[in-house]
Structure 1
């Protein structure tokens, strides 16, 4: 039986949450030995803002069948838990939306009216790609709508589009080169797109540290510093969540976010990893 759009989105959300929650454990100093030995630290692993925001995307898709921007902004604001690790800019935006502010104005305040170019829109968008599996053009359109609510800068939007397209086509298990070629076909021109072009050239390189030295690893918390590397990692391991995770984590940087992106694209985490991850919030079921 073919999975429904809601089932596919929920599956991507679960896979994203595992990458996010497990990736976040390697910021804890006492877990570093486990990370270096590729062993799992003690659970349960708590997810971060990446999963919380992705859960709102899944909820809005289930309620509307597409991205309704006002509904998404309201859900982001309502479910915003400061302790989940939100960046200061996004945290402020969501607080002001709760107080009655207009997200359309607030989201464009950073960067002289361009909005944030952070990786926040890319980190949460995999459920959009899964919902529109096999329809990468619509996945790209809906991803742009989801990004604009908090990250309207063209580079942040491009990062979200690239990840959503990747999640849309990943179930077909294309070859690494074909995978990135299709993502590039739909990613707007700019720094993110150029980074993915570089990632395409590095597919024969197996060392994540080398790839990250060229592409970034999310340390700058920017779309262009995050998305190209995650797509490189996903492209090389579309059929193996566990290898995709460890490859991504090995590069360091913004590990919870890079692993959330890769996890959401690749999907199907090991059952033991799912059981070690904090359950999704009840409100998104």
Structure 2
């Protein structure tokens, strides 16, 4: 069972990493024409903080079988690479943790004591949802626990819970029931919040084909908040289940925080085997770091 969990989570992590790395290429103006033509930009594609933090999620799950907050915060700090695109608040926090600071105090103090409502807790969490395939209650509980290590605002926590729930449902061997049922079930387990409201709108927009139109309503991460990011990313994932390529092209076409929306959507669709990224896309993506566990048993 642990090996099955590991392989599902690793597949999701690879989907997250490919989405993150490819999405990050479209911050470079010279690569815009590739996106318009749906052509892959030149390799190698380097992933960002989204993937680096997701790797810590998997490592802690393999070690403990659940989220251990102290170990997760320590892993985030120990593997923190300033050049991976972290936001300034998290950069400072992880440096202070590495220097002996208490993550609980530091995370709670962010943004004048409100905590961060950024999309960072959601961007890294899809592999956890895949780990808890079919167990939405445990997936959302563990996602909430994981979020608090860096993001303690209600919206950030709700965003992490939503992504974990979606990945757990997509990874469920019993099936996810399709786009409408998937988002309905995610809405059921996410607490009342702006994220929750955005997910309800996303559910109502599943018949829309144009990602730009949907992003104009839901947001696409331009403000890097959870509620400006998660509903759109889960709309893209739900609407294109089973096709990693279509998911990523549609998600990226809307612009915004492209690496993060593609990381979330890619991690969710890759939670099931049918949505795994193509081999040639994985080959173009920077390899996962050597400290990521190679097996889960």
TM-score, normalised on structure 1? 0.98
- Alpha-carbon distance, 1:174 to partner: 2.1
- The range that moved more, 106-115 or 176-185, is 106-115
The corresponding residue for 1:282 is 290
* Partner-residue secondary structure (3-state), 2:108: coil
For 1:19-168, list aligned pairs within 5 A. 19-168=19-168
User: In 2, are the aligned partners of 1:25 and 1:31 still within 8 Å (CA)?
Assistant: yes
User: In 2, are the aligned partners of 1:173 and 1:239 still within 8 Å (CA)?
Assistant: no
* 1:269 and 2:272 aligned: no
Give the unaligned 5+ runs of structure 2: 271-275
Q: C-alpha separation between the residues in 2 aligned to 1:144 and 1:261?
A: 16
* 1:16 and 2:19 aligned: no
- Alpha-carbon distance, 1:112 to partner: 3.0
Q: C-alpha separation between the residues in 2 aligned to 1:19 and 1:3?
A: 24
* 1:209 and 2:217 aligned: no
* Partner-residue secondary structure (3-state), 1:74: helix
Give the unaligned 5+ runs of structure 1: none
Q: C-alpha separation between the residues in 2 aligned to 1:131 and 1:175?
A: 20
- Alpha-carbon distance, 1:226 to partner: 0.1
Q: C-alpha separation between the residues in 1 aligned to 2:157 and 2:238?
A: 21
User: In 2, are the aligned partners of 1:10 and 1:127 still within 8 Å (CA)?
Assistant: yes
* 1:241 and 2:265 aligned: no
For 1:224-235, list aligned pairs within 5 A. 224-235=227-238
* Aligned mate of 2:262, from 259, 263, 266: 259
Q: C-alpha separation between the residues in 1 aligned to 2:279 and 2:261?
A: 21
Q: C-alpha separation between the residues in 1 aligned to 2:291 and 2:192?
A: 37
The alignment yields a C-alpha RMSD, in angstroms, of 1.1
* Partner-residue secondary structure (3-state), 2:227: helix
Give aligned pairs, total: 285
Q: C-alpha separation between the residues in 2 aligned to 1:3 and 1:231?
A: 27
Q: C-alpha separation between the residues in 1 aligned to 2:94 and 2:30?
A: 33
